[in-house]
C-alpha cells in the first residue's frame, strides 16, 4: 500500500524489529571479497576525512572572518582616538599660534614702551648734558672774565 507524500502510517515496533533482524541476517553481495570491502572502507574513510577537513577549513575561515571583524571593531576606537588626537593637535596648534601672537603683541608693546622710555631717558640725559654744558660754558665765561680782569689789572699795573 502506497501512502501519499507527507503522510505516515503507524508501523508496529514488532514489524520494525523483524525488518532489522532480517537485514542483519541477509547475506551481503560482498561476503568473501575482503579486498573490495577494504577498498570501499578506505574510500569511505577518505570521504569522511575530506568532510572533516572541509568543516575545519570552513570553521577556520569563519573564525578568521570573526577575528577580522573584531579587529575592525576594535579599530573604531583607535580611529576615534586618532581623530581626537588630530583635533587636539589642531587645538594645540591654534593655542600655540594664539599664544605666539599674544607674545608678539606683548613684546611689540614692550619694545614700544622701552623705546619710549629710552627716548624719554635720552631727553633727560640730553637735558642734563645741556645743563652741564651751559653751566660749564658759564663757568668758563666767568673764569675767562675774571682771568681777563686779572690780566688787565696786571697790564694796567705794569704799564702805569
What is the distance of C-alpha 139 from the center of its chain?
79
Number of domains in the chain: 1
Angle at 116 between CA 128 and CA 130, to 5 degrees: 15
Mean pLDDT of 117-122: 69
Residue 7 within any structural domain of the chain: no
Residue 136 within any structural domain of the chain: yes
Residue 139 within any structural domain of the chain: yes
pLDDT of residue 149: 78
Residue 69 within any structural domain of the chain: yes
Q: Is the pLDDT of residue 158 over 80?
A: no
Domain span including residue 52:
35-159
Reported as a single tens digit per residue, the pLDDT across 131-149 is 777 778 788 888 877 777 7
Q: How many residues does the chain have?
A: 160
Residue 57 within any structural domain of the chain: yes
117-129 exposure pattern, b = at least 16 Cβ within 10 A, e = fewer: eeeeeeeeeeeee
Reported as a single tens digit per residue, the pLDDT across 58-116 is 999 988 888 877 766 555 555 555 655 666 666 666 766 766 677 777 666 666 666 66
pLDDT of residue 31: 59
Reported as a single tens digit per residue, the pLDDT across 7-36 is 556 666 776 677 666 665 555 555 567 787
**CB-CB contact of 30 with 37 (8 Å):** yes
Amino acid at each position: 500500500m502506497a501512502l501519499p507524500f507527507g503522510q505516515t502510517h503507524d508501523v508496529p515496533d514488532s514489524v520494525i524489529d523483524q525488518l532489522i533482524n532480517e537485514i542483519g541476517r541477509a547475506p551481503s553481495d560482498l561476503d568473501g571479497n575482503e579486498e573490495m570491502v577494504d577498498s570501499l572502507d578506505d574510500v569511505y574513510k577518505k570521504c569522511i576525512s575530506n568532510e572533516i577537513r572541509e568543516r575545519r577549513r570552513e570553521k577556520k575561515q569563519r573564525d578568521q572572518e570573526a577575528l577580522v571583524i573584531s579587529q575592525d571593531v576594535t579599530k573604531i576606537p583607535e580611529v576615534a582616538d586618532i581623530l581626537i588626537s588630530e583635533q587636539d593637535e589642531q587645538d594645540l596648534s591654534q593655542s600655540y599660534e594664539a599664544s605666539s601672537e599674544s607674545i608678539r603683541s606683548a613684546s611689540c608693546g614692550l619694545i614700544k614702551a622701552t623705546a619710549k622710555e629710552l627716548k624719554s631717558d635720552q631727553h633727560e640725559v640730553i637735558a642734563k648734558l645741556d645743563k652741564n654744558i651751559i653751566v660749564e660754558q658759564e663757568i668758563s665765561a666767568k673764569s675767562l672774565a675774571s682771568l681777563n680782569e686779572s690780566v688787565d689789572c696786571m697790564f694796567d699795573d705794569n704799564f702805569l
